[in-house]
């Protein structure tokens, strides 16, 4: 049995045991759906980051950096991270205030419409199932690569290690295992990145060598390599900034992020955890991206490129660091899978299917678990028979809900004019406007210009739906009353000590801004400029 397999098995046993122990504490539906609404800042940060970072970042994004598009990916990474802060201020704390169990339930109550809730539930199940398939297949492929075991066996192991405790413990277990997994891949990044930089010759020599790297010219220039993905520097920068905005919207409004806030013990926790999550994403992503581009100096021909970190874990670092790194990448995949499975199960039970109101909590809990088991079995079967398409599913699912709900989420809090009809058509058109062009372009192999990206088509149609739908109907008394209630500050938030502590978080953000600027200028832009000037 190789060391990687031992690491993977030990970590999975830990997740299973901890998740199932947490499941024993589930007493009612609130425990199962929103972990009793008493989670601390550390737990919310853990679940936010763990749900967001998956094999897509550790393999997909680092692959892009390795392939030659380092700065465009860094731009997207930092812009999306800022989405946490804007998201929590304009939407996240209000959804916590609404005290619902799922995000679709919030929309249903806000617009006093079962139809809106069901539609949100269906869009959640469709999009998040895509994401679940992506991370399940990604994690399975990684495990097969590490252990040499058959794809089918690895699929069953991966499936068992996230589905059993998710089904049994719901959010109560997911939030704890997410946090453990967050610390596992955070440690993996912290420990492995310095070794990789060292293997590339050290920080400054590596920056100097990459600045004049002939095999992938322009790999760490501000526009990345030109000639294949991007033709001109402008095209590259426009792509990066527009995708940064798209992903900031995903972070600010997608259910796999905003649903985490439902578990927070108060709104101060929501705000503080969004700041910390923002900084964690910036730190983890940027260090991984730098390391991924530096792997080129040791081996520039790893194929496929998304295996660059796996190769580094097996060849550039001591064995124990490699085990930590590869277990961390697995943890990133599994933590996202557990969140996605729970979201699908919750949406089916709470939002799409309608149970009698007099059904007891105990019975609802039983139905929720059975439905989650069915969903996870379907995901298992599809993942087995569908050829692995990790990045297709991620590309499909990543932005579809942001263009479908994004605008409506913010307007539901801040607009006095939006109505249930506007919300319904906005969600539907936003979803279809993103989904249909995505399928067509993928099947036909069409490359659209940036401004016609399916996300923008979806969000434009969503806005049209909201505006036309809201103009043709009147805001009802119930909708107005719910919005007014959303703007009433709960008594628990009126705590001077908590307010003072939350206020101080701005200093952390401002300090981080200065650090990002100084580090990028001093450790990247200036050494890069000197190396390029030297060759001229």
Partner 1 sequence: MTGELAISIYLGGLVLFTGFFFKKMITKEFKHYEEIMEKEGPNN
Check residue 514 for interaction with partner 1 (CB under 8 A).
yes
Coil, helix or strand at residue 270: helix
b vs e for 113-126, b when ≥16 Cβ sit within 10 Å of the residue's Cβ? beebbbbbbbbbbb
**Mask for 489-508, x = binds partner 1 (CB under 8 A):** x-xxxxxxx-x--xx-xxxx
| CB-based contact 67:151 (threshold 8 Å) | no
Torsion sign (Cα): 87, 91, 96, 97? positive
User: Is 517 a binder of partner 1 (CB under 8 A)?
Assistant: yes
DSSP three-state, residue 19: helix
List Cβ neighbours of 288 (8 Å cut-off, separation of 6 or more).
57, 58, 61, 62, 65, 189, 193, 309
> Judged by CB, which is closer to partner 1: 152, or 513?
513
What SS3 class is residue 346? helix
Q: Is 202 in the site for partner 1 (CB under 8 A)?
A: no
Number of residues binding to partner 1, judged by CB under 8 A: 52
Residue 526 interacting with partner 1 (CB under 8 A): yes
Element at 453 (helix H, strand E): none
If binding is defined by CB under 8 A, does position 352 make contact with partner 1? no
Query: Closest CB to partner 1 among 240 and 329?
Result: 240
Mind giving me the DSSP string for 186-244? HHHHHHHHHHHHHHTT-HHHHHHHHHT-SSSTTTTSTT---SSS-SSHHHHHHHHHHHH
1 forms part of the interface with partner 1 (CB under 8 A): no
Instruction: Find the helix or strand (DSSP H, E) in which 128 lies.
Output: helix 114-147
Task: Based on the shown chain and the rule CB under 8 A, indicate whether residue 223 belongs to the binding site for partner 1.
Answer: yes
In whole angstroms, how close is the CB of 489 to partner 1 at the nearest point? 6
- Do residues 170 and 368 make contact, with C-beta atoms less than 8 angstroms apart? yes
| CB nearer to partner 1: pick between 298 and 509 | 509
Quick note: the x/- pattern for partner 1 over 364-403, rule CB under 8 A, is ----------------------------------------
* In the complex, minimum distance from the CB of residue 226 to partner 1, in angstroms, rounded to a whole number: 12
Nearer to partner 1, 190 or 241 (CB): 241
CA 54 to chain centre: 7
Taking contact as CB under 8 A, which single stretch among the options 113-121, 323-331, 365-373, 528-536 is the one that binds partner 1?
A: 528-536
* Cβ nearer to partner 1, comparing 223 with 420: 223
452/516 with CB nearer partner 1: 516
Nearer to partner 1, 220 or 331 (CB): 220
Q: How far is CA 301 from CA 67, 123, 164, 199, 329, in A?
A: 9, 40, 39, 16, 21
CB of 508 vs partner 1, minimal distance in Å: 8
Q: Does 535 bind partner 1 (CB under 8 A)?
A: no
- Binding to partner 1 (CB under 8 A) within 258-287 occurs at 271, 275, 278, 282
Q: Residue 399 gets which letter from DSSP?
A: T
Burial (CB < 10 A; 0-12, 13-18, 19+), residue 497, is: exposed
In the complex, least distance from residue 248 CB atom to partner 1, rounded to whole angstroms: 10
Among 15-23, 180-188, 302-310, 516-524, the segment contacting partner 1 (CB under 8 A): 516-524
x/- mask, partner 1, residues 450-489, rule CB under 8 A, reads ---------------------------------------x
- 87 closest CA partner among 261, 346, 244, 242: 261
Stretch that binds partner 1, among 60-68, 384-392, 413-421, 519-527 (CB under 8 A): 519-527
CB of 263 to partner 1, least distance (A): 22
What is the DSSP track for 466-526? HHHHHHTS---HHHHHHHHHHTSPPGGG--HHHHHHHHHHHHHHHHHHHHHHHHHIIIIIH
Instruction: Kindly state the smallest distance separating residue 32's Cβ from partner 1, in Å.
Output: 29
- Rank residues 377 and 517 by Cβ distance to partner 1 and give the closer one: 517
Q: How far is CA 45 from CA 26, 40, 281, 398, in A?
A: 22, 9, 10, 20
Which residues neighbour 392 within 8 Å (Cβ) at sequence distance 6 or greater?
134, 442
Q: Is the Cβ of residue 74 or residue 103 nearer to partner 1 in the bound state?
A: 74
Quick check: 529 binds partner 1 (CB under 8 A)?
Answer: yes
For the CB of residue 401, give the shortest distance to partner 1 in the complex, in Å: 23
C-alpha distance across the termini of the chain, in Å: 53
Nearer Cβ to partner 1, position 10 or 521?
A: 521
Which SS3 state, helix, strand or coil, does residue 131 take? helix
Stretch that binds partner 1, among 39-47, 119-127, 458-466, 521-529 (CB under 8 A): 521-529
Taking CB under 8 A as the rule, which mask of x and - marks residues 57-86 in contact with partner 1?
A: --------------x--xx--xx--x--xx
Cα–Cα distances in angstroms (integers) from residue 282 to residues 47, 53, 82, 279, 286, in the given order: 16, 12, 9, 5, 6
Give the three-class secondary structure for 302. coil
CB-nearer residue toward partner 1: 79 or 103: 79
Q: Which of 2, 440, 518, 534 binds partner 1 (CB under 8 A)?
A: 518
Name the E strands within 38-106: none
Nearer to partner 1, 460 or 512 (CB): 512
Burial of 511 (0-12, 13-18, 19+ CB in 10 A): exposed
- Site residues, partner 1 (CB under 8 A): 71, 74-75, 78-79, 82, 85-86, 89, 221-223, 233, 237, 271, 275, 278, 282, 489, 491-497, 499, 502-503, 505-518, 520-521, 524-526, 528-529, 532-533
């Amino acid at each position: 049995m190789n060391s990687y397999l031992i690491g993977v098995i030990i970590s999975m046993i830990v997740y299973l045991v901890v998740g199932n122990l947490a499941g024993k504490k589930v007493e009612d539906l609130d425990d199962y759906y929103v972990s009793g609404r008493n989670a601390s800042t550390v737990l919310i940060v853990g679940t936010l980051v763990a749900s967001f970072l998956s094999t897509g970042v550790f393999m997909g994004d680092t692959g892009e950096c390795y392939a030659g598009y380092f700065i465009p990916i860094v731009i997207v990474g930092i812009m999306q991270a800022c989405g946490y802060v804007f998201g929590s201020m304009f939407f996240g704390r209000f959804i916590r205030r609404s005290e619902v169990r799922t995000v679709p339930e919030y929309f249903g109550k806000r617009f006093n419409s079962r139809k809106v809730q069901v539609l949100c539930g269906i869009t959640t199940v469709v999009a998040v199932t895509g994401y679940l398939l992506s991370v399940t297949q990604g994690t399975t492929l990684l495990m097969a690569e590490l252990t040499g075991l058959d794809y089918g066996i690895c699929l069953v192991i991966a499936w068992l290690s996230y589905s059993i405790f998710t089904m049994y413990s719901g959010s109560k277990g997911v939030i704890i295992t997410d946090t453990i997994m967050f610390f596992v891949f955070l440690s993996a990044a912290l420990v492995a990145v310095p070794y990789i930089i060292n293997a590339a010759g050290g920080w400054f020599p590596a920056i100097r060598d990459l600045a004049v790297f002939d095999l992938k010219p322009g790999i760490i220039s501000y526009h990345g390599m030109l000639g294949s993905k991007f033709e001109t520097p402008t095209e590259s920068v426009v792509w990066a900034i527009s995708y940064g905005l798209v992903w900031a919207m995903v972070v600010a409004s997608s259910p796999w992020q905003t649903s985490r806030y439902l578990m927070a013990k108060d709104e101060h926790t929501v705000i503080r955890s969004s700041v910390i999550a923002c900084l964690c994403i910036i730190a983890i992503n940027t260090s991984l991206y730098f390391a991924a581009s530096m792997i080129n100096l040791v081996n520039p021909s790893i194929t496929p490129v998304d295996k660059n970190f796996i190769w580094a874990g097996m060849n550039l670092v001591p064995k124990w660091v490699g085990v930590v790194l590869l277990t961390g990448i697995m943890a990133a995949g599994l933590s996202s899978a557990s969140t996605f499975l729970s979201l699908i199960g919750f949406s089916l039970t709470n939002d799409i299917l309608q149970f009698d109101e007099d059904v007891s909590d105990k019975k609802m809990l039983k139905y929720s678990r059975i439905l989650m088991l069915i969903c996870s079995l379907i995901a298992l079967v599809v993942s087995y028979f569908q050829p692995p398409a990790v990045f297709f599913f991620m590309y499909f699912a990543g932005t579809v809900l942001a263009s479908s709900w994004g605008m409506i989420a913010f307007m539901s809090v801040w607009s006095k004019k939006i109505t249930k009809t506007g919300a319904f058509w906005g969600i539907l058109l936003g979803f279809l406007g993103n989904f249909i062009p995505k399928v067509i372009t993928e099947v036909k192999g069409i490359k659209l210009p940036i401004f016609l990206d399916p996300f923008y088509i979806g969000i434009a149609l969503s806005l049209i739906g909201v505006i036309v739908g809201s103009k043709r109907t009147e805001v009802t008394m119930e909708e107005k009353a719910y919005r007014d209630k959303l703007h009433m500050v709960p008594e628990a938030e009126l705590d001077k000590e908590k307010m003072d502590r939350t206020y101080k978080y701005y200093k952390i953000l401002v300090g981080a801004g200065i650090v990002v600027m100084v580090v990028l200028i001093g450790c990247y832009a200036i050494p890069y400029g000197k190396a390029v000037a030297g060759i001229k």
